[in-house]
A = this chain, B = another copy of it.
Amino acid sequence: MLAKSIFLAAALLAPVLTGAAEKPSSKLVYSDQELYRLGRPRVFQGPTLREVAFPLGGIGTGTVSLGGRGNLRDWEVFNRPGKGVNLPFTFFALYFEQGKEKAVRVLEGPISPPYTGQDGIRRTEVPGLPRFERARFHGEYPLAWVELEDRKLPLQVTFEAFNPCIPLDPESSAIPAVVFRFRIRNLSGEPAKVTVAGSLLNPIGFDGEGTVDGIGSSKFGQNLNEIRKGAALSGLFLSSRKVKPDAPAYGTMALATPWKSLTYLSHWVRGQWWDDLQIFWDDFADDGRLQDLDEASPSAEGRTDIGTLGLMAEVAPFGEVALPFILAWNFPNFLDYFDIVRDQRGQKFRNHYAEHYPDAWAAAEHLHKNLPELERGTRRFHSLFFNSTLPPYVLDAVSSQASIARTMTCFWLEGGQFFAFEGCNDKTGCCPLNCAHVWNYEQSLAFLFPSLERSMRETDFLVNTKDNGEMVFRTSLPLGEKLWNFRPAADGSLGRVINLYRDWRLSGDLAFLKKLWPKAKAVLEYTWTAWDADKDGLIEGEQHNTYDIEFYGPNSMIGTFYLGALLAGSRMAEAAGDPASAKTYGEMFDKGRAAFDRLLWNGEYYVQKYDQVMEKKYQYGDGCLSDQMLGQWLAMVAGLGRFLPEDRLKTTLKSIFNYNFMTDFRGYSNAQRTYALNDERGLLLCTWPKGGRPPLPFVYSDEVWTGIEYHVASHLMYEGMVDEGLTVAKAVRDRYDGLRRNPWDEVECGHHYARAMSSWGLLLALSGYSYSGPEAKLGFAPKLYPENFRTFWTTGSAWGEFRQRGAAVKGFSAELTVAGGEQRLSELSVELPPSVRGKKVVAAAAALAGKPVKVAFRQDGHGVMVFWAPAAAVKAGETLAVELKF
């Protein structure tokens, strides 16, 4: 066991809490090693490969996933979720020749059991072809790679895959194309010949409904595979003459490469039975060369074709080649099959990406042409992020769930508005759209692609908010045409006000705030009609909320939302030039906070006060609700700070952990939905430690939602309970271990559920991140490894790395590096690590890009603010270095 002080800063700050908090809770089930060890995220192999599906799409492009074995699975490029949609006969294969030896392998690890199916394993996945003996999957979003091994081949093969993903740069992160690269290292002293052949079924005509079970379907016919040979790229271009340009299924695909030594088949033999695969494989296995068939002939009605593109190379003794492919797609027509306003369904829109790329080939060419820059940005993001001194499962939780913005949960239409479901059913988005109370929790989009987040705020306030301040919490397409006829959600409306404050602070864009403010004000004041008619600062009335039911009476959950919204409203009113409102909200906040604290505190946490709690269905009463401090947490993230009494807040969070975190589910009875079971660990939505459980409490009370687990974990960290927060976060990721569930698909009411993007809060809390765009102030106060800390960060205008060192340099130094964008900055605040605590800072020095900057400083306890004027602009590639003298 390592000394905890090595890891922790916050622990030294944490005050003694009430009750059980003085001794370590029995619910701290992990060792310090398990919680604090640094390193790369876990690697998947053997049985844990089976559920792995790593999404490779861009923003609003749809996606295909890389399976744990190196297989492509869940094709969701057809403007619909597509869990279980695998393209038949679509795989990469290796030919190897050395002297008289030759071998072929599908570039995948072995198929995992069970091997069931009414005709054996699905033949379309070519299960009978030989594969590598072992696969190891590494997923560090947005990069993934699979190491393939086979004792019989003197090769080290790595299959790399990524889609460009650059913080704050949505356009560069929205390319409907994936880079695949096969690195083949020759481990022997003899030269080897290799071919890597990618086979791809032409799926044009498939509209995402159902599955593609073979080459035959009434959706297929006149599918055309062309061989294109260009100066930059060559390869397969797939289209259909049958599908008209305005049809939802219309589109093109491409499998292209800049490699010059090629072999190919525009289409496999059109035979009977399984002649096609047999002839392809025998030909390939013979010498690694195909027939080089370049025949652009459309397929017969009801059939489609498979084409193959092979890259040939010699690998020198002990040498390496990297064989590159670009897989691109373009399905421009986005069908609204789901609209919340039923009679709006059936309309078609165009994907934003189609405004840039007329077809898949154009997307491939764009990606190829800009690859050096796109890859540099992507790799920089990856390396800064994964070099953070945060535990690997935290990095994994934050990065993996940031992928949700690049799955079919989200889409991006022509004109630039960004939309999202809550999550995805297997084959349909669910539920539509921009659901305010679910999207409240998410932070990843706001911090990675803030312009898209702001587009959602515009929709919330400028489209969905009526003049009386009723915010319609689900969006109908096209924008502004029809509004859904349903009562507002109390948490949805009020949360969006807090989020607006966050987005304004991140962007520093006063014009943006001013544009939205009138509607935000209306939303906030609508509370006085709907939920706080007596304007006492306390929520009452019927409160529809994210549990899909109504709460009644004052309660912790909606109460903290209201307080947070009042505080945010007050600040925004001030900024927007409305001091009267600012004062009103401020006074109401003070009043409400006092009433909240007085009325709802039960000594350990806050509750719901409602006299019919045992009679009226779906309330929580005296329950300890995991979401009770959600409004407070949103306020923390937004930069509004702690507004409840510190001791009670800490006690509340500790109570949530102590009561609601389950270390085992084996004896537990849950009649609701099941997201954790057996030997797993997880945080319940609610418990009744003091009795008083209503006969029928709210309908999700016994469930476990990762989106809530993450915000509670983050909040525990903010308040110094780092062990507890890490324990909750690790429990989530242990459930998503590749054997039980897909680590890149946290599920609630659907796959890739948006609420899970609250995981970004772990990064914010552990790094003690604070930012004010309007004031050009940035700060960090690491919650662990403060003596030698590194973290990735973003603001509304830049992203990069922050490093601080204490004991390691026998003093204190900090460096802020901008990797992308430009950061206007007039203050950097830091928190002194234990090694220099209690010492008085006597001088501060700073340099920007090596040039000294004249700075002042102020010390306040452990905090030190270093500031200067005028604000400096730290450009991409530049570092601002600060040193403190004691």
Contacts and interface: CB of A to CB of B under 8 A. Distances in A.
A271 B695 CA distance: 13
A640 B638 CA distance: 88
Which range contains the number of A residues in contact with the other chain?
A: 35 or more
A121 B119 CA distance: 26
Nearest to A277: B671
Contacts of A271: 696
Contact of A670 (B129, B279, B702, B739): B129
B83 A113 contact: no
Interface string A687-716: 000000001100100100000000000000
A127 interface: yes
Contacts of A111: 677-678
Contacts of A675: 120
A114 B50 contact: yes
A118 interface: yes
A646 interface: no
A109 to B, nearest CB: 10
Nearest to A280: B671
A126 B674 CA distance: 8
Contacts of A424: 118
Contacts of A118: 83, 423-426, 430, 747, 750-751
The secondary structure that dominates the A interface is loop
A460 interface: no
Interface in A597-639: 617-618
B671 A747 contact: no
B130 A671 contact: no
Interface in A258-305: 271-275, 277-279, 281-282, 285
A546 to B, nearest CB: 15
Contact of A120 (B123, B618, B671, B674): B674
A376 interface: no
Contacts of A152: 667
A372 interface: no
Residue from the set A121, A128, A130, A695 with the largest chain B CB neighbour count within 10 Å: A128
A19 interface: no
Given A275-B696, A666-B133, A673 B115 contact: no
Contacts of A748: 119-120
A696 B278 CA distance: 8
A486 interface: no
A675 to B, nearest CB: 4
Q: Which of A118, A121, A273 lies at the interface centre, i.e. has the most chain B CB atoms within 10 A of its CB?
A: A118
A783 B129 CA distance: 38
A741 interface: yes
Interface string A646-689: 00000000000000000000111111111101100000000000
Contacts of A129: 669-671
Nearest to A668: B130
A133 B673 CA distance: 20
A133 B272 CA distance: 51
A130 B747 contact: no
A117 interface: yes
A666 B108 CA distance: 12
Contact of A127 (B272, B677, B699, B739): B677
A114 B285 contact: no
Contacts of A823: none
Contacts of A695: 279, 282
B272 A130 contact: no
A51 interface: yes
Contacts of A117: 747
A116 interface: yes
A244 interface: no
A86 interface: no
Interface in A724-757: 735, 739-742, 747-751
Nearest to A747: B120
A279 B695 CA distance: 8
Nearest to A735: B115
Contacts of A41: none
A10 interface: no
A706 to B, nearest CB: 11
A227 interface: no
Nearest to A151: B666
A110 interface: yes
A524 interface: no
Given A118-B425, A278-B696, A747-B119, A670 B128 contact: yes
A669 B281 contact: yes
A692 B748 CA distance: 57
Contacts of A51: 114, 116
A129 B741 CA distance: 20
Interface string A448-468: 000000000000000000000
Nearest to A272: B617
A275 B118 CA distance: 37
Contacts of A281: 669, 671
A137 to B, nearest CB: 16
Interface string A862-879: 000000000000000000
A313 interface: no
Contacts of A674: 115, 120-121, 123, 127-128
Contacts of A282: 695
Contacts of A677: 110-111, 115, 121, 127-128
Contacts of A253: none
A675 B121 CA distance: 7
Given A273-B618, A275-B617, 19 more contacts: A114-B740, A115-B677, A115-B741, A116-B741, A118-B426, A118-B751, A119-B748, A123-B673, A127-B677, A128-B668, A129-B670, A130-B668, A130-B669, A152-B667, A273-B699, A277-B671, A278-B671, A278-B672, A279-B696
Interface of A: 50-51, 83, 103-104, 110-111, 113-121, 123, 126-131, 133, 152, 271-275, 277-279, 281-282, 285, 423-426, 430, 617-618, 666-675, 677-678, 695-696, 699, 702, 735, 739-742, 747-751
25 contacts: A51-B116, A104-B669, A110-B677, A110-B678, A114-B739, A115-B677, A115-B735, A116-B747, A117-B747, A118-B750, A118-B751, A119-B747, A120-B748, A121-B674, A123-B672, A123-B673, A128-B671, A128-B677, A129-B671, A274-B671, A275-B696, A277-B671, A278-B672, A281-B671, A285-B669
Identify the 10 closest CB pairs spanning chains A and B, nearest first. A128-B670, A127-B674, A278-B671, A277-B671, A128-B674, A113-B740, A120-B675, A273-B699, A121-B674, A120-B673
